[in-house]
Structure 1
Amino acid sequence: MREVFHQALEDIQNRLVEIAELVTVAIDKATTAFESGDVSLAEEVIADDARIDELALSVDELAIDTLAMQQPVARDLRIIVSALRTSASLERMGDLAEHIAQLARSRFPERAIPKGLKGTFVKMGKLDVEVARTLVELLRTQDLAYAASIRDSDDEIDELHASVYEKVLSEAFSGDVGHVIDAALASRYHERFGDHAVSIAKKIVYLATGDWTGRADGEPEVEVVDRTVIPGV
C-alpha cells in the first residue's frame, strides 16, 4: 500500500510540474503580447488556459482519491493538502497570465502599456517569467535555493508594482482614465502572479524544514529531517 501511495504522490508531483511549465509558457506569451500588442499571441494564451484548468482539476481529483483510498496522516496528509493548495495557486497564476493577455487584446490595435511605463512593465514581465521558470525547478527538484530566489524576485516585483501606482497617480502622468485602469490592473496581475509563486514556495519549504516563514536562504532555521517533499521521487 505504501508503494501505491508513493506512486500516487509521484504522479501528483509530475502533474504539478507540467502545470507549472504551461503557466511559464502562458506568462511568457502574455507579457510579450502586452508589451508588443501582439493580439494573436494574446489569443493563444486565452485559449490555452483551458488546458491549465483541466490539469489542475486532474490533480485535485487524484489528490482527493488518494485521501479517500490511502487515508494518510501526519506528514503524508500535509503533503496531499499542500498539493491541493499548490494546484489552486498554479491555476490562479494561469488565470492571471490570461488576464494580462485579455488586456492586450482589449487595447488592440493600440498597445496596452501607457506611455512612460513600458520599461517598468518589461521588467515586471521578465521577473514573472523568471519566477515561473524557477518555480518549475523548485517543484521538480525541491531544492530550497529556488524558493529563496522566488522570494527575492517577488520583492523586486513588489517594488515595481508600487512604482506603477506612484507614476499613474502623479500630476506628471499624461494618460487618460483608461490608461490608468489598464496600468493598475496589469501591475496588480503581475504582483499577484509573484505572490502565488511565493505561496507555493513557502509550502515546499515548510514540508521540507517545518519552517513556515518560507525563508530558504542559507541554513534552515530548523533541522531538515527529509528534504524530499514527494517521497519516492
Structure 2
Amino acid sequence: MRKVFQDELAQVGEELIEISRLVTGAIEKATESFEVADVDLAQDVIAADARIDFLQNSLDERAIDILALQGPVASDLRMIVGSLRMSASLERMGDLARHVAQLARLRYPNNVIPAALQETFKEFARLDIEISKKVTELLETRDLNVAREIAKDNMAVDELHLSVFKAIAADDWNESATTTVDVALASRYFERFADHGVSVARKVSYLVNGEWQSDEFA
C-alpha cells in the first residue's frame, strides 16, 4: 500500500514537470510571435493553452484523491498541498503566455511594441524564458541554488517593468492611447509571469526545508 502511495506522489511530481515544460514552450512561442508579429504562431500558443489547463485539472484531481484516500502526513502532506499551489502558478504562467500571444494576434500585422521599447521587451522575453526553464530544472532537482537564480532574474524583470512605466509617463512619450495601453498590459504580463515563477520557487524551498522563507525570494 505504501509503494502505491509513493508511486502516486511521484506521478504528481512528474505531472508538474510536464506542465512546466509546456509552459516554457508556450512562453518561447508567445514571445517570438510577439516580436515578429507572427499570427499563426500566436494562434498555436492560444490553442495549446487548453492542454496546460487540462493537465492542471488532472493533477489537482489526483492530488485531492490522494488527500482523501491516503491521509498523508508531514512531508507527504506538504508535497500534496504544495503541488496543488504550484500547479495553479504554472497554469497562470500558461495563461500569461497566452495573453502575450493574444496581443500579438490582436495587433497583427503590426508589432505591439513601438521601436523605442522593443529592446526592453526582448530582454523581458529572454528573462521570462530563462525563469521558465529554471522552474522546470528546479522541479526536477530541488536545487535551491536554482531557486535563488529565479529570484535574481525576477528582480531584473521588476526593473524592466518599472522602466516601462517611467517611459510611458515621460513628457516625450507620444504614442497613441491604444499603444500605451498595449505596452502597459504587455509589461504587466511579463512581470506577472516572472512573479509566478518565484511563487513556484518559494514552494519548492518550503518542500525542501519545511520552512516558509519568503525573505530569501523577495
Aligning the two structures, in what range does the TM-score lie when normalised by the shorter sequence?
over 0.9
Q: AA paired with 1:170?
A: A
Structure 1 stretches of 4+ moved >3 Å: 214-217
CA distance in 1, matches of 2:160, 2:61: 37
- 56-65 or 68-77: bigger deviation: 68-77
TM-score normalised by structure 1 residue count: 0.90
Is the partner of 1:212 in helix, strand or coil? coil
Task: Count how many residue pairs are aligned between Structure 1 and Structure 2.
Answer: 217
Check the 8 A contact 1:201/1:214 in 2, yes or no.
no
Q: How does 1:187-226 map to 2 (within 5 A)?
A: 187-214=187-214
Q: Which residue of 2 aligns with 1:83?
A: 83
Check the 8 A contact 1:30/1:45 in 2, yes or no.
yes
Which structure 2 segments of 5+ residues have no match?
Answer: none
Q: Which residue of 1 aligns with 2:24?
A: 24
Q: AA paired with 1:54?
A: F
Query: CA 1:196–1:75 in structure 2 vs 1: closer, same or farther (change >3 Å)?
Result: same
- 202-211 or 16-25: bigger deviation: 202-211
Is the partner of 1:184 in helix, strand or coil? helix
CA distance in 2, matches of 1:215, 1:148: 11
Going by fraction, where is helix more abundant, 1 or 2? Answer: 2
Q: Which residue of 2 aligns with 1:156?
A: 156
Q: Which residue of 1 aligns with 2:177?
A: 177
CA distance in 2, matches of 1:216, 1:160: 21
CA distance in 2, matches of 1:50, 1:154: 26
What percent identity do the matched residue pairs reach? 51
Check the 8 A contact 1:147/1:216 in 2, yes or no.
no
TM-score normalised by structure 2 residue count: 0.97
Check the 8 A contact 1:115/1:175 in 2, yes or no.
no
Once the two structures are superposed, residues 87-137 of structure 1 have per-residue CA deviations (whole angstroms, 9 ceiling, x without a partner) of: 111000000000000000000010011231001000000000000001101
CA distance in 1, matches of 2:115, 2:211: 43
Q: Which residue of 2 aligns with 1:8?
A: 8
Q: Which residue of 1 aligns with 2:69?
A: 69
CA distance in 1, matches of 2:216, 2:7: 27
Q: Which residue of 2 aligns with 1:168?
A: 168
CA RMSD of aligned residues (A): 1.2
Q: AA paired with 2:179?
A: H
Which structure 1 segments of 5+ residues have no match?
Answer: 218-233
Is the partner of 1:19 in helix, strand or coil? helix
**1:216 positional shift:** 6.5
**1:68 positional shift:** 1.0
CA distance in 2, matches of 1:53, 1:70: 25
CA distance in 1, matches of 2:210, 2:11: 24
**1:75 positional shift:** 2.2
Once the two structures are superposed, residues 37-72 of structure 1 have per-residue CA deviations (whole angstroms, 9 ceiling, x without a partner) of: 111110000000000001111100110111111011
**1:191 positional shift:** 0.4
**1:74 positional shift:** 2.3
